[in-house]
Amino acid sequence: MQLEEYKSYVGQVPFGKRLPGAVYVLRGEGVGFGEALDSLLKRLEAKYEISPQFNVIKFRTDELKVSFLAYPGLLSDAHPALRHAITIDLVSGKARHRSMLRISTRQSFIGRRALSRRTIPGGVNSRR
């Protein structure tokens, strides 16, 4: 599949959040994106063992990449957090797996640690 053909298929999807470089759509039972994209997604899901926890699909529109995103609580939380992402380069066939859980936990740990140093009398960053 070439980029222009791919962009045409993605452009025909009548729903989703459209941004300048991507289209985000909900992934679930009974949700279809047209024969060509459905076939592509089915192949990717099988090859890369994409589980149902990945409930959002990101179609890049500036390059041949598709991402499967896991947002637990997407339909119930006011501000759902991205937990995992799998980005697949359709040209090379390489997949990149990212866990946002580790990133947010580390950032939150660093934030708590910095806060405690500033607020504990005699702490590393406290002023006397």
pLDDT tens-digit series, residues 76-105: 888 888 999 999 999 999 999 998 875 544
Q: Three-class SS of residue 58? A: strand
d(CA 4, CA 6): 5
Q: Three-class SS of residue 102? A: helix
pLDDT digits (tens, 9 = 90+) for 101-125: 755 444 444 344 434 344 444 544 4
Between residues 118 and 73, the one the model is more confident about:
73
How many residues are given for the chain?
A: 128
